[in-house]
Amino acid sequence: MLKQKILILCALLTLAALLLWFKIPVASSQGPTLIAARVTDALPSQDLNSALWQQATALEIPLSAQTVTRPMLLETNVKAVTARALYNDQQLAVLVEWADATDNSQMVRIQDFRDAVALQFPIVEGLPFVCMGQQGVNVNIWHWKADWQQDLVAWQDMNSVYPNMNVDSYPFAEGQNPAPSDYTDANYVPAYELGNLMATPHKSSVEDLTAGGFGTLTSQPLDAQNVQGHGEWNNNQWRVIFTRNLTSAETEDINFAEGKMYSLAFAAWDGANNERNGQKSTSEWISLQIGKPAPVTKVTTADTITATPPSPQEIAIPLGLIVVPLVLVILVRTLMGKDEEPSE
Partner 1 sequence: MADVYNWQLGRTIPYPYPEAHPQKQFAAVFNINRCIGCQTCTGACKATWTFSRGQEYMWWNNVESKPYGGYPQHWDIKILEMLDAAQQKTGKPAQWDTTQTDAKKPYGTYNGLTIFEANDPTQQALGYIPNDAEWRAPNFYEDTSTAYKGDNLGISTEGASLPEHQTWFFYLQRLCNHCTYPGCLAACPRKAVYKRPEDGIVLIDQSRCRGYKKCVEACPYKKSMFRGTTRTSEKCVACYPRVEGNDPLSEGVPMETRCMAVCPGKIRMNGLVDIAQDGSWVESPQHPLYHLVKVEKIALPLYPQLGTEPNIYYIPPRWAPRAYLHQMFGPGVDQALERYAAPSRETLAVLQLFRASQKMVFRYEIQEGPLVHEMQIKGKPWQMYNDTVIGFDSKGREIARLPVVEPIHERPKERLNSI
Residues in touch with partner 1 (CB under 8 A) = 67, 69-74, 107-112, 147, 156-158, 161, 165, 167, 170-173, 177-180, 183, 188-196, 198-199, 214-217, 274, 276-278
The candidate with the shortest Cα–Cα distance to 76, out of 275, 236, 212, is 275
User: What is the smallest separation between the CB atom of 194 and partner 1, expressed in angstroms?
Assistant: 4
Query: Given the complex with partner 1, which of 104 and 263 has the nearer CB atom?
Result: 104
Q: How far is the CB of 86 from partner 1 (least distance, A)?
A: 31
Least Cβ distance, residue 44 to partner 1 (angstroms): 30
Q: How far is the CB of 307 from partner 1 (least distance, A)?
A: 41
Return d(Cα 154, Cα 174) in angstroms, integer.
18
Rounded to the nearest whole angstrom, what is the least distance from the CB of residue 180 to partner 1 in the complex? 6
Helix and strand counts by DSSP (H, E) for the chain: 5, 14
Picking from 279, 315, 243, the residue whose alpha carbon sits closest to that of residue 131 is 279
Q: How far is the CB of 69 from partner 1 (least distance, A)?
A: 8
Q: Could you please report the per-residue DSSP string of 79-100?
A: -EEEEEEEE-SSEEEEEEEEE-
Q: What angle do CA 104, 108, 114 make, to 5 degrees?
A: 25
Return d(Cα 126, Cα 90) in angstroms, integer.
25
Give the total residue count for the chain.
344
CA distance 9 to 281: 32
Percent composition of the chain: helix, strand, coil (DSSP 3-state, to 5): 20, 25, 50
Q: Of the two residues 20 and 108, which places its CB atom closer to partner 1 in the complex?
A: 108
Which residues touch 312 (CB under 8 Å, ≥6 apart)? Answer: none
Nearer to partner 1, 28 or 176 (CB): 176
Indicate the residue among 10 and 224 with the shorter CB distance to partner 1: 224
**Cβ nearer to partner 1, comparing 211 with 241:** 211
Which C-beta is closer to partner 1: that of 46 or that of 69? 69
